Structures are given as structure tokens and as C-alpha cells.
């Protein structure tokens, strides 16, 4: 959380007139920053000449915490890094430990992981789309989005005991098997959601104001996106077909093929569209996994006190915001020697200075919302 | 910019891929051969390990970091930098890079040992996305990246002292200020000794891993009666631990903690 102390600079324009450069602070308490992000913007009139993101307001020393917790105990802490998709974070952490120990969860556990991960992806994208439209001035979509998300959270509560910080994954599988009747309720929810998705689509996509504010705004070209380590829907909206579920499949994604959603435009509208169609794709994946859900154990009966062998590994999953990776170093004891969280939002955030330069103030919210940050993952 | 509203008629996602999940082993071998060639071209002994998860890790000398990065980016197509992680191995520090080749789906770990000067070269010129990642590594580990244009703290305060992810960092509160915050009226503020006393009571000792205990406190048995640093039971607060007594770098220098001052309440 470095402070930015800069005196206003004076610039001369072509006619030799001097205009004072204004510094505008956006955040850390601003509704459209989705958390505690501060943007320090140097303005030349309405135009942004320089933008400096200031982060760290939510820093909790999570990596140090993980070093001081047993491997099983760390699973609950990674929930809070990307707090809009805790299931995916847990899958990454548990998967990293499994990779280190050389074990693999039973097939049923892998399928359950896929189902809850895709549900989580829908929930996260619903928040992204709903709040994005709220930022742009449309109030209704967030109500539609949160209504549907509520169904997912209720299903999570049934299966894991809590709605947000689920603590559901375990090294070698999952905590509980699915409750009786849960799959039927999920099926019902999916049917409802597909109808609601079309409702949301009709409501937003094609709206003239929305299209005008997002089409052609915040363009990222593919080379730039890769160079700035962008991952997830932002990268795919720039025309780069890179989805870890497809390119480097893990768990049940080895058996269930994902159709990646890729768009070429690279603007805010493309990012929105990628998120919308990824929700449909997730519904299809959940249905496929439910149809092929195998029986058998849900856990490898791994002991609570784990001692993975000495070594290191890196395991990344495709989170809802992008690549969510865990780098683990084990010294042979019960505690990780080092646990590094690679958060997608952290890298995605730092495209902003490039993206905002030369844009108008009015587009800041449109661009910021389309990147879909989670500050818990940025600050960790 | 097209202003006409587009009515929900968009191209569907692409058709399903042929799902060739089984990575041909020849691809992995091909990468290993390329890495060996790279080490020979740049001129350092090639040390390649296979990690759990089936991807290679290459140890690179600090002097060849930028040359190797440039080679990996330009010749071998590792365009996407996933993460930069610092690593404190007590005797020395390391910086770990994770790289992706989008075309061949390769994952590679590049590991650099930080020299005694605690300074390695920045790879911003190769991957623009390294900018915040290197700042973060500097912030948490104190490793200086020479050539970084804007190397300053990113997650922690500018006034923060120390580098918290080092193993030598004390996991006890460092900044207990004598002044109150401006959020409470002065007569309600808890200041000075009382605040320190309250803070000290809340702290629990951190559990170092057994290997770390043996490393940091040689001679201390980690089993039997000695498993809690020589105590029969886990110490309640950190100041009871013998290694913090009278060493001059703790808050009380071995004295009793001041009793909480309740007069202000």
C-alpha cells in the first residue's frame, strides 16, 4: 500500500497554454471498485494521463498464515483469498497438496468437484455481470443475478454447511457426499436458471445504452493481454484461446470436454459476453457431470496430519477470474515451507494503467467493472 | 462504433475440441531437449528436474537470468508469465518463475538463486506482467530487482519495517504505537502500556515446522518433553519463550509485562 505523493505537474499544450494537471482519487471507498481499491488518476481535463492503482488495504498476510497451518488447515484460509469463488480456491489448494503427495481423488470426488466448481463459476459470473450493470447505471440486473445466485448458495449450504467459506474440499477428495435429493434440487435450479439466463440476456444484451458504453471501450489486443499475464475471461475476450480446463485439464475435466468461449473483439462488451456464455457452458458441464456421476468413495481417507514428501510443485486451476495457482514447497513436515497464491485478479488489475491512459473519466467505471476484480485475491 | 442494438443473435461458442488429453510423452521430451540446448547456447550447466505434476524445473544462475528469459520468451515461446514467488531457504533466497507456452501447453518453472548482494535482474523487459509481481516479491522478501523502474512496497505500508515472508521475521506485532488512532476521542483511547499489555496477551506463539525449529534452534529436540521448545506445555504467550527473554530485541527485555492500566476506563 504505497502512497502516492506527487505535486501537480504543469503541462504545456500545443499553443503554449499551461493547464494544471488534476489528481483525482477514486476509492478506496467507492462503490464501483468492488472492495477497497484506490486509483490515483492524473487528469488533463476529462482525459486520464496516468493511473496508479494503490492496493493492500485488504492484505492479511495469507501466505504467512498458510505457512503456519497444517496442510488440511490451510484449505479453509484460501477461501478468503478469492472470496467470490471459494470452491475453486479450495480445489486448487487441495489439488496442489495431492500433486505433491502423488495421490489422486476418487472419480466420484472429482465429479463432485467439477459440479461445485462450475456452480461457483456461475455464481461468480452472476456477481460480475450484475454489479457491472449496476456500475453502469442499470439497477435491475443485479436483482436478477443475485436471485439466481441465491439458489447456488443454498445448495452449497446443504452440501457443505455454509454459504461462502465452504471448507468443503479435502486433500484426497471432498468432505461430505451429496445429500439425498440434492441432485434433483440442482436439476430444478438448472432448469430455472436457463430460463432466467435468457431473461437476463434479453434484458442486457442489445440494450442500446449498454452497447454504446461498452463496445469499443477498453480494447486489449491479444499480444498485450498475454504480455501482461492476463488470464481468464479477459484473455479469452481478446481472442486468445487459453483455458486451463481445456489446455491443461485436471480432475474430471480430463473426461468432460469444455468448449471454451472465445471472442475476438477484446473490448468491455466482449468480456461481458464471454462471462454470459461461460455460464451456459457451465450449465452444460454440470448436466454432463450429473449424468455421468460415478459411485464409490468420495475421499481417499487421507489422515488429518499430512506429511507430504520434500519437494515443490505448482498447481493451477481455471478460476472464475483466471488462473488460480498454488505454489507449494514442502520440507517434509506438517506445515508447508512456502505456499504462494497466484491470484488472477492481481495480474489482471495491473493492465489498468495501460488501459485507462487516454480514456475519459466516464469510461473508468465501465473498464474497471469489465475486468471483474476481487480485492481479496489482489491483496491476499 | 456500431450504435445499432444487436438483438441476441450471436455466434455460438466454437465446436468441441478433439479432447486429446493424454499429453504425448514426446512433447515433454522435446521440451527437455530444448532446455538442454538453451543452457548450452547461453553457456551454463543445465540442471533440469522433473517436479510432481510432471513439469520441468530449470535452475538458472542469476547472471544468466535475463538472457535465459529472453531465450525462453523469443525462441521457446513462453509468452505467459504466471507467477513470481520468492522463497526463503534460510541460508539463501530464491526466486521462482512459472511460465506457460500457450502453443504447446507447456508449463515450466525457472528458479534463480539470489546472490549475496540480494539483488537480481528484473525481467520486465521480457514480460511486462512482471512489474507488479516483482514489486510484491520485493515487498514480502526484500529481494531487489535491478532495473525495475518503480520498485516500492505494494501490499504493505511504506513505513512497514522488515520483510514478513522471511523466516527470520518475528511473528509478533511489531508496530504497537503509543498514539491512539484519530477515530476515537482522546479520553476513550487506549494508549501506551495498556495497549501493549492487551496486545501481548492476545498473541499466541507461531508453530514453526519441525525442520524450521531444528534449523533455527539447533540442539532443540522436537520430540518428547521438549516438543514445545523445552516447555512441558505450549507456552501461553510468546514472551515466555526462552529465546525471547533478555535478548534485547523484544518489547520488555525480559521484564514482567506491565499491568493493564484501567484508570482511563
List pLDDT tens digits, range A296-322.
Answer: 888 888 877 888 888 899 999 999 999
For residues A87 and B63, give the distance between their C-alpha atoms in angstroms, rounded to a whole number: 41
Same domain for A115 and A263, yes or no, is: yes
Cell triple for B258: 506491565
State the pLDDT confidence band at A184, using cuts at 50, 70 and 90: very high
Q: Is A349 on the interface with B (CB under 8 A)?
A: yes
pLDDT at res. B134: 92
Contact between A230 and B129 using a beta-carbon 8 Å cutoff: yes
In a domain, A5, yes or no: no
Please give the residue that has the higher pLDDT: either B214 or A23: A23
Contact between B13 and A335 using a beta-carbon 8 Å cutoff: no
pLDDT at res. A118: 94
Same domain for A44 and A133, yes or no, is: no
CA distance A313 to chain B (A): 6
Write the residue in B83, B87, B158 that is nearest to A325 by C-beta: B83
For residues B60 and B95, give the distance between their C-alpha atoms in angstroms, rounded to a whole number: 10
Write the residue in A246, A281, A333 that is nearest to B211 by C-beta: A333
Same domain for A182 and A307, yes or no, is: yes
Residue B94 has what DSSP assignment?
A: E
Beta strand B144-146 with B119-121: parallel, antiparallel or unpaired? Answer: parallel
Closest CA to A275 of A110, A126, A155, A59: A126
Local structure of A275: helix, strand or coil: helix
- Give the structural domain span for A209: 63-379
Q: For chains A and B, count residue pairs whose Cβ atoms are closer than 8 Å.
A: 172
pLDDT at res. A146: 92
Q: How many residues does chain A have?
A: 380
For residues A249 and A317, give the distance between their C-alpha atoms in angstroms, rounded to a whole number: 9
Same domain for A290 and A310, yes or no, is: yes
Q: Extract the runs of DSSP E, i.e. beta strands, from chain A.
A: 10-12, 18-20, 22-26, 38-44, 47-54, 169-170, 173-174, 311-318, 323-330, 336-342
Q: Quick: pLDDT tens for A44-81.
A: 888 888 888 888 888 888 998 898 888 888 898 999 88
pLDDT along chain B (265 residues), means of 10: 40 39 54 81 81 85 90 88 90 91 86 91 90 91 89 83 80 45 50 45 46 58 47 48 48 51 53
Write the residue in B2, B6, B155 that is nearest to A379 by C-beta: B155
Closest CA to A351 of A269, A235, A254: A235
Closest CA to B54 of B90, B124, B108, B92: B108
The residue written with cell numbers 498464515 in the block is: A65
Do residues B132 and A346 make contact, with C-beta atoms less than 8 angstroms apart?
Answer: yes
Mean pLDDT, chain A, integer = 87
Same domain for A45 and A106, yes or no, is: no
pLDDT at res. B216: 60
Assign residue B254 a region (left: φ > 0; alpha: ψ between -120 and 50; beta: otherwise): left
Beta bridge partners of A50: A42
In a domain, A144, yes or no: yes
Which residues in A lie closer than 8 A to residue B17 (C-beta atoms)?
246, 257, 259-260
State the pLDDT confidence band at A93, using cuts at 50, 70 and 90: very high
In a domain, A4, yes or no: no
pLDDT of A6 higher than 70: no
Q: Quick: pLDDT tens for A272-299.
A: 999 999 999 999 999 999 998 888 888 8
Average pLDDT, stretch A13-39? 72
State the pLDDT confidence band at A88, using cuts at 50, 70 and 90: very high
Rg from Cα positions in chain B: 26
Query: For the purposes of burial, counting CB atoms within 10 Å of the CB of A350, is it exposed (0-12), middle (13-18) or buried (19 or more)?
Result: buried
pTM, two decimal places: 0.77
Q: What is the DSSP string of A220-247?
A: --HHHHHHTT--THHHHHTT----HHHH
Name the CATH topology of B27-146. Beta Polymerase; domain 2 (3.30.460)
pLDDT at res. B261: 54
pLDDT at res. B187: 54
In a domain, A173, yes or no: yes
Same domain for A116 and A35, yes or no, is: no
Same domain for A129 and A223, yes or no, is: yes
Write the residue in A2, A64, A208 that is nearest to B152 by C-beta: A2
State the pLDDT confidence band at A117, using cuts at 50, 70 and 90: very high
Residue range(s) in chain B whose domain bears CATH number 3.30.460.80? 27-146
Q: Quick: pLDDT tens for A331-345.
A: 888 889 899 999 999
For residues A234 and A222, give the distance between their C-alpha atoms in angstroms, rounded to a whole number: 10
In a domain, A23, yes or no: yes
Same domain for A39 and A70, yes or no, is: no
Q: Who's near A266: CB < 8 A, 6+ residues apart?
A: A219, A220, A221, A222, A225, A237, A238, A239
Q: What percentage of residues in chain A have a pLDDT greater than 70?
A: 94
Same domain for A161 and A50, yes or no, is: no
Longest dimension (CA), chain A: 77
Phi, psi for residue B191 in degrees, rounded to 5: -125, 165
For residues A166 and A152, give the distance between their C-alpha atoms in angstroms, rounded to a whole number: 12
Please give the residue that has the higher pLDDT: either B203 or A186: A186
- What is the complex's ipTM, to 2 decimals? 0.87
For residues A158 and A163, give the distance between their C-alpha atoms in angstroms, rounded to a whole number: 9
pLDDT at res. B28: 67
pLDDT at res. A192: 93
Cell triple for A289: 457431470
In a domain, A346, yes or no: yes
Which residues in B lie closer than 8 A to residue A349 (C-beta atoms)?
132
Same domain for A46 and A87, yes or no, is: no
In a domain, A1, yes or no: no
Same domain for A37 and A129, yes or no, is: no
For residues A260 and A247, give the distance between their C-alpha atoms in angstroms, rounded to a whole number: 10
| Neighbouring C-beta atoms of residue B150, cutoff 10 Å | 12
Same domain for A144 and A35, yes or no, is: no
Domain count, chain A: 2
Q: Is A8 on the interface with B (CB under 8 A)?
A: no
CA distance B41 to chain A (A): 25
Q: Quick: pLDDT tens for A191-250.
A: 999 999 998 888 888 888 898 889 888 899 888 899 999 999 999 998 888 888 888 888
Amino acid at each position: 500500500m504505497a502512497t502516492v505523493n506527487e505535486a501537480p505537474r504543469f503541462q504545456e499544450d500545443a499553443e503554449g497554454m499551461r493547464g494544471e494537471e488534476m489528481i483525482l482519487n477514486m476509492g478506496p471507498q467507492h462503490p464501483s471498485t468492488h472492495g477497497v481499491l484506490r486509483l490515483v488518476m492524473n487528469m488533463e481535463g476529462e482525459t486520464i494521463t496516468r493511473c496508479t492503482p494503490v492496493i493492500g488495504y485488504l492484505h492479511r498476510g495469507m501466505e504467512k498464515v498458510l505457512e503456519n497451518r497444517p496442510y488440511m488447515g490451510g484449505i479453509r484460509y484460501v477461501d478468503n483469498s478469492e472470496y467470490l469463488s471459494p470452491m475453486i480456491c479450495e480445489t486448487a489448494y487441495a489439488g496442489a497438496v495431492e500433486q505433491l503427495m502423488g495421490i489422486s481423488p476418487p472419480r466420484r470426488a472429482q465429479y463432485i468437484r467439477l459440479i461445485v466448481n462450475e456452480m461457483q463459476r456461475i455464481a461468480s459470473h452472476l456477481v460480475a455481470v450484475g454489479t457491472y450493470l449496476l456500475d453502469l447505471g442499470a439497477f435491475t440486473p443485479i436483482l436478477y443475478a443475485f436471485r439466481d445466485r441465491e439458489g447456488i448458495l443454498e445448495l452449497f449450504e446443504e452440501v457443505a454447511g455454509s454459504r461462502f467459506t465452504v471448507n468443503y474440499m479435502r486433500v484426497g477428495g471432498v468432505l461430505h457426499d451429496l445429500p439425498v435429493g440434492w441432485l434433483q434440487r440442482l436439476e430444478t435450479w438448472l432448469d430455472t436458471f436457463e430460463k432466467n439466463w435468457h431473461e437476463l440476456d434479453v434484458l442486457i444484451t442489445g440494450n442500446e445504452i449498454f452497447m454504446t458504453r461498452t463496445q469499443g471501450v477498453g480494447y486489449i489486443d491479444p499480444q498485450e493481454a498475454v504480455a501482461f499475464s492476463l488470464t481468464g475471461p479477459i484473455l479469452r475476450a481478446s481472442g486468445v484461446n487459453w483455458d486451463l480446463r481445456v489446455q491443461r485439464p485436471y480432475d474430471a475435466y480430463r473426461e468432460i470436454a469444455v468448449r471454451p468461449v472465445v471472442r475476438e473483439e477484446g473490448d468491455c462488451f466482449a468480456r461481458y459476453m464471454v462471462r454470459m456464455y461461460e455460464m451456459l457452458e457451465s450449465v452444460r458441464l454440470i448436466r454432463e457431470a450429473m449424468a455421468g456421476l460415478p459411485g464409490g468413495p468420495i475421499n481417499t481417507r487421507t489422515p488429518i496430519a499430512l506429511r507430504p514428501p520434500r519437494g515443490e510443485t505448482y498447481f493451477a486451476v481455471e478460476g472464475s477470474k483466471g488462473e488460480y495457482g498454488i505454489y507449494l514447497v514442502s520440507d517434509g513436515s506438517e506445515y508447508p515451507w512456502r505456499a504462494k497464491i497466484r491470484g488472477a485478479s492481481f495480474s489482471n488489475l495491473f493492465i489498468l494503467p495501460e488501459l485507462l491512459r487516454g480514456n475519459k473519466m466516464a469510461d473508468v467505471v465501465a473498464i474497471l467493472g469489465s475486468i471483474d476484480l476481487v480485492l481479496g485475491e489482489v491483496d491476499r | 462504433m456500431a450504435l445499432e442494438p444487436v438483438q441476441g443473435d450471436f455466434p455460438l461458442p466454437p465446436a468441441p475440441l478433439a479432447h486429446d488429453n493424454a499429453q504425448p510423452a514426446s512433447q515433454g521430451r522435446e521440451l527437455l531437449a530444448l532446455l538442454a540446448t538453451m543452457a548450452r547456447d547461453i553457456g551454463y550447466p543445465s540442471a533440469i528436474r522433473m517436479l510432481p505434476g510432471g513439469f520441468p524445473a530449470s535452475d538458472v544462475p542469476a547472471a544468466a537470468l535475463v538472457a535465459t528469459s529472453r531465450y525462453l520468451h523469443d525462441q521457446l515461446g513462453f509468452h505467459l508469465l504466471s507467477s513470481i514467488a520468492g522463497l526463503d531457504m534460510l541460508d539463501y533466497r530464491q526466486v521462482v518463475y512459472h511460465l506457460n507456452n500457450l502453443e504447446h501447453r507447456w508449463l515450466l518453472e525457472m528458479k534463480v538463486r539470489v546472490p549475496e548482494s540480494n539483488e537480481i535482474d528484473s525481467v520486465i523487459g521480457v514480460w511486462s506482467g512482471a512489474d507488479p509481481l516483482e514489486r510484491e516479491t520485493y515487498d514480502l522478501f526484500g529481494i531487489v530487482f535491478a532495473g525495475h523502474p518503480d520498485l516500492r512496497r505494494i501490499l504493505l505500508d511504506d513505513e512497514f519495517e522488515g520483510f514478513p515472508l522471511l523466516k527470520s521475521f518475528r511473528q509478533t506485532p511489531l508496530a504497537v504505537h503509543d498514539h491512539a488512532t484519530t477515530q476515537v476521542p482522546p479520553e476513550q483511547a487506549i494508549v501506551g502500556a495498556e495497549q501493549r499489555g492487551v496486545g501481548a496477551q492476545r498473541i499466541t506463539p507461531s508453530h514453526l515446522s519441525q525442520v524450521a525449529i531444528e534449523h533455527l534452534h539447533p540442539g532443540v529436540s522436537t520430540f518428547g518433553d521438549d516438543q514445545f521448545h523445552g516447555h512441558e506445555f505450549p507456552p501461553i504467550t510468546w514472551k515466555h519463550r526462552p529465546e525471547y527473554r533478555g535478548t534485547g530485541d523484544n518489547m520488555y527485555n525480559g521484564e514482567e509485562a506491565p499491568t493493564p492500566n484501567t484508570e482511563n476506563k
